[in-house]
Chain A
């Protein structure tokens, strides 16, 4: 490689991109060599995805130049980028559920044949054949005839990779590819990346996980708040240095946690089964207990029943059989409201979908746990003065930044402040049980640290905490007890200190024997 060191396959020079209200990229320059794995490291909102989206033709830069193989290009759409052999695996997969794997792969570049020499049609047979060949070549197992709706996330991701290979992409962009995988699946993916590099492909890897970069990347560009901080040789830089550079200050990589003091039994789930709308059993004979002052974390790959489990406890899903007891009170068949009143607080996974009303004011969103009770309303009619005072107090206490105080419409607030408002509202109830589902998804490191502190504070106050997270690091860092869920069953419950993340990962894949 040494000789043509300065021959870059991708150059992005002085790229600036604005979105309404923010500068996503501010004068960023990166240069990528052919056949290397080039990582982009940064927190959420640092501008990594935006930068890559421009390389992939989703957006056009406001200023700056993109040079591919020495040629200046201006992509108006992803198809123009694809013509230059650039492919991307998005964080949210772009797959059509009711199409087969093969159909998804060829969508957009359908191979055509003519029936009777006149009627053009999409020739899936030939396409599937080619997919099988590619599959063998790169050790990427996919079945082109399977329906997308029938396969799990890890295989869906392979389909996305196959899409790029089918298009003969040479420059492959991966956007946070490992965030939804088990450690074992991550290994598999990294192996495939190695395989691709050997095949002469150039890989751009967007991630916020430093260990992965350490394992596989050659070089690493660090972005912070839209600007390029530095480009490093991965081999010669320490993990701690990278972390500090990414956040812009010294960070604690491990959360410090005081020793646990368990109290009385708060939540007890016994032999619980849940079926979804299509009568498929999603939670199977699950039993566990949580005591006061304990963080019970459920680890598992997305889609293994953990969301349904939380929904069944809060009352969103009907419990098919078994019991749920909260502080000795049987709440198995209670309504959602009765359960929350019995002592459940809930920080949902998707805050904008479940946690708040975007078109309502901050005041109304704060009041959502109490509005139907006195003094907030009397005989079904509101006394708005009470909720105004309440919201003023919470704004103050939880440091929620809003333009016009309680009158601010939720939609106009930043994501971090929305999350602060939800957490504040729920914590303010001081309930014996607090459920956190993916509490830090999509937040930047500072906010994550803040939420983690609050979870620990709730535990130290004596609340029982049920934490459901797809991030294994979060589970390992916070849990007192870990339960691993696979295919609706809890395969293992153990004291967190007795498990390594490798152990947990194994259970997450459904392997029970050592």
Chain B
């Protein structure tokens, strides 16, 4: 053992009281790079080329060639377009998680709010954009919020665990919306729902910026603003403090007079609101259409993204950037490397696996430091004894 050895330094890095969250996430990312590089090497591919092409696919680096009218900027905006719902979805998870609740139902909440917004505002062709866009956002808020509040209500009135109820509700929504899309709103060619009117889209399509055609997403502005608001709520307000108190120790929160049941419903409802916003930015901003009977995988990815961001709203901005980088860049990477694009999901999965072990890294580091402290004490004792003898 050595007080200033590499191990000790790493352990202190991971348990640093102020930065532990960030540092553990960084460790996860480093581990991810190592493991996925090994994986790529086994497949006979150059990891550096792979990671470079992930960057290039998202407009962070130059591709070797571009189609007419597109460039780095168009790729970058496309990246922002898909990052927006990812960030909102992970904020949705964080909002419930900080209050000690698991919102596994983000997928369902996204799907239903996207569906309702599509079939109402999205298919009203005559609405002008300044009316349609706020309405879409409002529908997202209302539908997501209502669903979330329902889950919270089931918990506080009937004591049904939110993980169980949200799983049930996810599939109910999936089949229900699937039925309506297939029977009423289906596009016979794409087998998905008919595309929505351009006025209702949360993306300005084909805007010419410096000669490049870009899709400017409004969602990203919304998402980042939301991240800041959520951060403010948790750090500076009484409401956020009470949510955290309920999440940290429900019994103690009850004892200190916090209305725990009400805060559970509120937290679930606001989590639903954020999921609803994720839903409308995803379906009315990014995809433009809905695949029937398909829960968006993003709703589950968001859980892990939130975790990687240490359940911190600002952290979530960076973690959703990273995850989106892999998912959105997979097509270009695949075309460059000739590896199936699903390797991107595998890399994400590995990252999630490590971030699920975050507490373990901290636990091991703490254990190591404790043993180190004992060892140092013992050494001191031995030295002292030897000194006494002399």
Query: In chain A, what residue has the closest Cβ to B257?
Result: A337
1/0 per residue, CB under 8 A from A, across B220-252: the answer is 000000000000000011110100110011011
Complex CA distance for A73 and B367, rounded to whole angstroms: 28
CA distance A355 to B245 in the complex (A): 12
Docked pose: A18 CA to B239 CA in angstroms = 43
Check: B359 CB closer than 8 A to any chain A CB.
Answer: no
Collect the chain B residues with CB atoms within 8 Å of residue A369's CB: 256
Q: Is the CB of A20 within 8 A of B248?
A: no
Complex interface: stretch among A191-199, A292-300, A376-384, A481-489: A376-384
Contact in complex: B238, A372 (CB < 8 Å): yes
**Cβ < 8 Å to B, chain A residues 366-403:** 368-369, 371-372, 377, 380-382
Beta-carbon contact of A371 and B248 below 8 Å: no
Known: A336-B257, A354-B255, A382-B237. A360 touches B248 (CB 8 A): yes
Q: Is there an interface contact between A357 and B255, defined as CB atoms closer than 8 Å?
A: no
Is the CB of B371 closer than 8 A to any CB of chain A?
yes
Considering only residues 321-357 of chain A, those with a C-beta below 8 Å from chain B are 335-337, 340, 346, 348, 353-357
B95 → A minimal CB distance (Å):
17
Chain A positions within 8 Å of B252 at CB level: 353-357
User: Is B124 interfacial (CB 8 A cutoff)?
Assistant: no
| CB pair B370 A380 closer than 8 Å | no
Cα–Cα distance between A337 and B263 once the two chains are bound (Å): 14
Taken together as a complex, chains A and B put the C-alpha atoms of A305 and B255 apart, in Å, by: 18
What residues of chain A lie closer than 8 Å to B386, measured between beta carbons? none
* Known pairs A358-B248, A359-B248, A360-B248; A382 contacts B373 (CB<8 A): no
- Tell me the complex Cα distance, A381–B237, Å: 4
Beyond A354-B251, A355-B255, whether A371 also contacts B370 by CB under 8 A is no
Q: How far is the CB of A349 from chain B (nearest CB, A)?
A: 11
Size of the B side of the interface (Cβ < 8 Å), in residues, is 24
Q: How far is the CA of A18 from the CA of B252 in the complex (A)?
A: 32
- Give Cα A369–Cα B257 distance, bound, in whole angstroms: 8
Cβ–Cβ < 8 Å partners of A356 in chain B: 249, 252
State which residues 81-114 of B face A: CB under 8 Å: none
- Please measure, in the bound complex, the distance between the C-alpha atom of A377 and the C-alpha atom of B237, giving whole angstroms: 8
Q: A336-B254, A346-B255, A409-B17 are in contact. Are A377 and B238 (CB under 8 A)?
A: yes
Q: Let me know if A380 and B239 touch, CB within 8 A.
A: yes
Min CB–CB distance B284 → chain A (angstroms) = 33
CB-CB contacts below 8 Å: A10-52 with B:
18, 20-21
Query: Please, which residues of chain B bring their CB within 8 A of the CB of A372?
Result: 238
Whether the pair A336, B249 counts as a contact (CB closer than 8 A) is: no
Measured CA separation A290–B105 after assembly (Å): 51
- Minimum CB–CB distance from A426 to chain B (whole Å) comes to 11
Bound together, the chains give a CA A358 to CA B238 distance in angstroms of 19
Contact B371 A357 (CB under 8 A): no
What is the chain A residue whose CB lies nearest that of B239?
A: A380
Check if B259 is an interface residue, CB within 8 A of chain A: yes
Chain B residues near A381: list those with CB within 8 A.
Answer: 236-238
Task: State the CA gap A420–B277 with chains docked (Å).
Answer: 46
Q: Chain A residues with Cβ under 8 A from B258's Cβ? A: 337
A358-B249 in contact (CB<8A): yes
Q: Would you call A357 and B245 a contact (CB within 8 A)?
A: yes
- Chain B residue with the shortest CB-CB distance to A407: B17
Question: Is B342 located at the chain interface by the 8 A CB criterion?
Answer: no
Q: Does B374 contact A (CB under 8 A)?
A: yes
Closest residue to A339 on the B side, CB-wise? B257
Is A112 on the interface with B (CB-CB < 8 A)?
no
Distance between Cα atoms of A382 and B232 in the complex (Å): 11
Chain B residue at minimum C-beta to C-beta distance from A341: B257
Asked if A316 is at the interface (CB within 8 A of a chain B CB), the reply is: yes
Chain B residue, CB-CB nearest to A360:
B248
Q: Nearest B residue to A384 by beta-carbon distance?
A: B236
CA distance A353 to B251 in the complex (A): 6
Asked if B370 contacts A21 (CB within 8 A), the reply is yes
- Tell me, in angstroms, the Cα distance from A356 to B17 when the chains sit together: 19
B201 to chain A, nearest CB (A): 36
A357-B249, A380-B237, A381-B237 given as contacts; is B374 within 8 A of A368 (CB)? no
Flag A299-333 by CB within 8 Å of B: 1 or 0 each: 00000000000000010100000000000000000
Look across to chain B and name the residue whose beta carbon is closest to the beta carbon of A277.
B159
Please pick, from A314, A353, A382, the residue contacting B238 in the complex, using a CB distance under 8 A.
Answer: A382
Q: Residues of A contacting B256 with CB < 8 Å?
A: 368-369
A-chain residues with CB within 8 Å of residue B255 when the two chains form the complex: 314, 316, 336, 346, 348, 354-355
Rounded to whole Å, the gap between the CB of A409 and the closest CB of chain B is 7
A168 to chain B, nearest CB (A): 38
Q: How far is the CA of A118 from the CA of B161 in the complex (A)?
A: 42
User: Which residues of B lie under 8 Å from residue A380 when comparing CB positions?
Assistant: 237-239
Q: Are B238 and A335 in contact (CB-based, < 8 A)?
A: no
- Expressed in whole angstroms, the minimum distance between the Cβ of B212 and any Cβ of chain A is 43
B367–A382 touching, CB < 8 Å? no
The distance from the CB of A359 to the nearest CB of chain B, in whole angstroms, is 5
Q: Which residues of A contact B373 (CB under 8 A)?
A: 20-21
> How far is A54 from B248 in the complex, measured between Cα atoms in Å?
34
CA distance A500 to B17 in the complex (A): 53
CB-defined contacts of B239 to chain A, threshold 8 Å: 380
In the docked arrangement, what's the CA distance between A372 and B253, Å?
Answer: 13
Whole-angstrom CA separation of A335 from B236 in the bound complex: 25
Closest Cβ–Cβ distance, residue B235 to chain A (whole Å): 9
Contact indicator per residue, chain B 12-23, by CB within 8 Å of chain A (1) or not (0): 000001000000
| Nearest-neighbor residue (CB-CB) of B256 within chain A | A368
* A-contact bits for B362-390, CB 8 A (1 contact / 0 none): 00000100110110000000000000000
- Tell me, in angstroms, the Cα distance from A97 to B373 when the chains sit together: 40
Known interface pairs A337-B257, A380-B237; A18-B374 also in contact (CB < 8 Å): yes
Using CB atoms, name the residue of chain B closest to A368: B256
Residue contact A20 to B367, C-beta cutoff 8 Å: yes
A20 to chain B, nearest CB (A): 3
In angstroms, Cα B259 to Cα A369, docked, is 14
A356 to B253, CA, bound (A): 9
Q: How far is the CB of A300 from chain B (nearest CB, A)?
A: 21
Residues in A neighbouring B251, C-beta threshold 8 A: 353-354
- A20, B238: Cβ atoms under 8 Å? no
Expressed in whole angstroms, the minimum distance between the Cβ of B94 and any Cβ of chain A is 16
A59 CB, min distance to chain B CBs, angstroms: 15
| B237 near A20: Cβ-Cβ < 8 Å | no
Cα-based distance from A344 to B216 in the complex (angstroms): 58
Across-interface contacts of B245 in A (CB, < 8 A): 357, 360, 368
Nearest residue, chain B, Cβ from A20: B370
Distance to closest chain A CB from B372 (angstroms): 10
Bound-complex Cα distance A372 to B240 (A): 11
Report Cα–Cα, A409/B17, bound state, in Å. Answer: 9
Residues of B within 8 Å of A346, CB to CB, are 255
Output the residue of A353, A358, A368 with the most chain B CB within 10 A: A368
Question: A18: shortest Cβ distance to chain B, in Å?
Answer: 5
Q: Contact flags (1/0) for A206-248 with B, using CB distance below 8 Å?
A: 0000000000000000000000000000000000000000000
Q: Judge whether B370 and A353 touch: CB under 8 Å.
A: no
Cα A348 to Cα B373 with chains together (Å):
34
Q: Which residue of A lies closest to B375 (CB)?
A: A18
Of the listed residues A316, A346, A354, the one surrounded by the most CB atoms of chain B closer than 10 A to its CB is: A354
26 A–B contacts from the bound complex (CB under 8 Å):
A20-B370, A316-B254, A316-B255, A335-B257, A335-B259, A336-B254, A346-B255, A353-B249, A353-B251, A353-B252, A354-B251, A354-B255, A355-B252, A355-B255, A356-B252, A357-B245, A357-B249, A358-B248, A359-B248, A359-B249, A360-B245, A360-B248, A368-B256, A377-B238, A382-B238, A409-B17
9 further contact pairs, Cβ within 8 A, besides A316-B255, A382-B238, A409-B17: A20-B373, A314-B255, A336-B254, A337-B259, A355-B252, A359-B249, A380-B238, A381-B237, A382-B237
* Interchain residue pairs A-B with the least CB separation, the first 8: A20-B370, A337-B257, A336-B257, A368-B256, A380-B238, A357-B248, A354-B255, A359-B248
